[in-house]
Structure formats: C-alpha cells, structure tokens
Structure 1
C-alpha cells in the first residue's frame, strides 16, 4: 500500500481509538474485515474510528442499533474507502437504518410525453448525493452471514457515495493518479454494453442484470462482486476486475 493515509490525515482529524474489545468482536463478526492482512486491518480500524466519530446513526421504524451493529456497518462502509482514506467518505453525515426493506415515494417525469407518474419503490439501501446513507438492517446482517454470495448492500451504497464525490453518479468516481480515466471509461462502457446485450437477449449472466439500470448501478454491482466474488467478476470481465483491484485494493474474498 502507498504511504499510509493515516499519517497524511491524522493532523487534520484524530478520532478516539476503538476499544479493543469492541474492535475484536466486530472483526470476528465481519468476514470481509477478518480476511484482511494485519496492516490493512490496522488501517481499517483507524478509518472505522473516524467514521463512527463523524457519522450520526439513526435507527428508524423500530430498528434496534447497538454499538456492535454500528461498528459492523462502519467496517463494511469503510472497506471500499480503505485505499483512498477518510476523504473518500466526505460530504455527508447521516446513516439511516430501517429494520428491513423500506419504501421511497418517487415522481418520474417522461420528457417525451410530459406525463408525470408517481409510485413507491421498495428498497434495501439508498445513497443520496450530499445526503444520508440508508440501509436495511436485515440485509446488512444477511450479508455478514453470507459474505461470499456476490451481494453486499453497504458496499453497493458506498460505491454510489464514492461515485457521487464529483457530482451526479455516472459510474466514474474520482480516480487515483495510477488509474487512467479514459481506460476506466472504455473498459466499463464495453462491459456494460456486453451485459446489456446479453440481458436483452435473455441470456444468463455472471453479473446481476440489475447492473444494466445505468452506468452508476453497473459500478455499484461490480463493486459488490469485487469484495464478495472476485473470481466471478474476473470470469465476466477481466479488465473491469483489474481496474477495481487497482481502485479498491486486493479483495478480501477467498481465491
């Protein structure tokens, strides 16, 4: 790993260290964190401390949040930001947690017909630009129990947060200097087009078909695969897998 972001950042913000008992219990309950090497676990512990100090958690609709659960959420939220450090988690403060799926009322304006339609979407996670991270606690817990099934709601929504650091989500987060932006755009567009063609033809795909909802969703879905099933992602598209490893660092998933 390049020079520790912690050494660069500690003069800006120092969070109280996590108690060892809290950290060890959370680490034991988070397979993605448990499989990191010792150096990355240390970086993750410091980043989680910053996250918990700077973000405000709100339990909604009867959800029950313990200190342990907040730490587990923070660990999964910080994993995608581990390579970039605390600045990658800037621009928002709130984490809203529902006990399970939640409804979001939306209005849609069709530019061609001028018709405005309204309805409710049932979601397990959502990320707002400059707004909260919203999660289903039931799905967070399911991801902890089944860490290698290709899905992770916290990783998915944090990928959206990273994507929105430079404006509305478009599948291209601010990239570190060692990743060429044009290379990223070309590789992701080609993979997206290939997946969209397979989905349109009714073919089975290694990448969840939800990814063709847009470039932003494609980035979030393949980010889940990077952390949960990197071998599947590599079979689906090696170029995208390589770019995500360069962006996020090595996957903690078993080989």
Structure 2
C-alpha cells in the first residue's frame, strides 16, 4: 500500500454551521454535554487534518457526509484521546457492501480461496474501509445493536499495542482485569452458542476475542442496556473506556 504524503501544521477550523448541520443527523450527538462536544470537535479537526476520506466506485460524499463520517470515527475516542488516531491515514468508503478475496493454506498444504462480502474492515497497518449504505442504515436505526464504524474503530484501538487480541492499550492493572473479564465472558458466550442456545448478542462475537471486543463495542454505542443485562462486567469496562453510553 502506498500512502500519499501530506504535511499540515495545524488542524482545520470547523465551520460552526456545518458542524451543527452534521451533528443534527447523528442521534449519538444529541446527548453530548458541552465538554464532550468540545473534545469531539478537537478530535474531528485532527482526523480531518491527518486522514484522507476516499469514496470509491462512483460514490460522492458532500461536506456534511464527510464530517459525519469523521464524527462517527471519533466518537469512540472521546475518553481515549488523539492517540486513537495513530496508525492509519485513510478512510475508504464504498457505496455498499464490498467483496474481498481470501485465501488460507491448511495444515496439509492445500490452498483454499474464497470471496467474503464485507460491510467494514480495518487493516492492522492500513486503512479503515466502510460501506456507506450500512453507515446510513446504522444512523437510521441507531438502537438496533449495529454500528459498523464503532466496530472498525475498535479494531484500530485494539491494534495500537501491536497485538490484535481484544485488549486495547490500558494501564497495567486495568489491562489485567479487562483481559480476565473479557476472556471469561467470551468463553461463556462461545459455550452457550456451541450448545445451540440463543446468543444474547450477535453471535459473530464468538469468531475471536478481537471480534468479541468489536461487537461488544457496537452494543455500547447502539444497545447498551442489552449489553449490561448480558455481560455487566464487560459493559462496565466499556463505559470506563468509551465514556457513558450516548444512547442510554
């Protein structure tokens, strides 16, 4: 991957009228107190200064839509801060779901190849990729348990310590407690799904510890009550990490 080189010494000024227009279309911003709103504006300004938003396959994004994408990407960073923007430089946006070619060589040396239809992806050392149609669907139904932008930003936060394992960079004592509580909740969910029981959250969370963290992040932003009922320890960690849920 070849990245365009850009140097900007200062973050751009955000037009207040444009900010209000963009914010009015995002349910998560309606409950922001003034202090968190100011932090979000600073994060969004840094995001726009340091990252390219690149629409693909004929998609056109106006200034309000670009600003909303930046806002959504920065909401999970309200407590973590600007360090959460490190490690990537481009947001790629497809009009709809996109297809990715996969390959895997098994233990017998046989190469398996297949196509995955994706609505979002975060490369460990590359861009975040989103389906615009699915971002819009999440905005239209913000309490349905899905938030693709939060999911992919969770992966980016997870990768900051060099290991995609479901544990983002944290102070040592908190990291140990986080890892213990998340592993216990993950194991319990996997056992429940393996037994054929209904999952209290999207069973994609059982794919791996990192997907468990990302899916739980979606619930923090879209259905925090369900997450609290199903996994109170996990919900408490995420509230400390992301701040109080914006859709209580």
Partner of 1:164: 159
Contact 1:33/1:75 (CA < 8 Å) preserved in 2?
no
Cross-structure match for 1:28 = 24
The aligned counterpart of 2:73 is: 77
* In 1: Cα distance, 2:86 partner to 2:29 partner: 22
8 Å CA contact retained: 1:17, 1:49: yes
Q: How many residues align?
A: 241
Shift of 1:16: 2.0
What does residue 235 of structure 1 align with? 229
Contact 1:191 1:237 in 2 (8 A): yes
Cα distance change on mapping 1:176 and 1:228 into 2, 3 Å: farther
SS of 1:193's equivalent in the other structure is: helix
**1:119 counterpart = 2:114:** yes
Partner of 1:175: 170
RMSD value, Cα: 1.4
| Residue of structure 2 equivalent to 1:5 | none
Q: Which residue of 2 aligns with 1:57?
A: 53
> Take 1:192 and 1:126, find their aligned partners in 2: how far apart are those partners?
21
Structure 1 residues 102-143: Cα deviation after superposition (integer angstroms, max 9, x where no partner)? 001111121x22221011100000000120000000001111
Residue in structure 2 matching 1:205, options 168, 180, 199: 199
Residue of structure 2 aligned with 1:146, choices 116, 126, 141: 141
C-alpha deviations, 1:2-41, integer Å up to 9, x for none? Answer: xxxxxxxxxx964122101110011101111222112101
2:126 aligns with one of 131, 135, 146 = 131
Structure 2: runs of 5 or more not aligned: 1-7
Task: State the Cα distance separating 1:168 from its structure 2 match.
Answer: 3.5
- 1:87 Cα deviation after fit: 1.3
Give the corresponding residue for 1:86: 82
After the TM superposition, which of the residue ranges 164-173 and 150-159 deviates more from structure 2?
164-173
Name which of structure 1's ranges 153-162 and 75-84 shifts more when overlaid on structure 2: 75-84
Q: Report the TM-score, using the length of structure 1 for normalisation.
A: 0.91
Task: Please report the TM-score for the alignment, with normalisation by the length of structure 2.
Answer: 0.94
Which of 99, 102, 123 aligns to 1:103? It is 99
CA positional deviation for 1:176: 4.3
Cα distance in structure 2, aligned partners of 1:13 and 1:250: 33
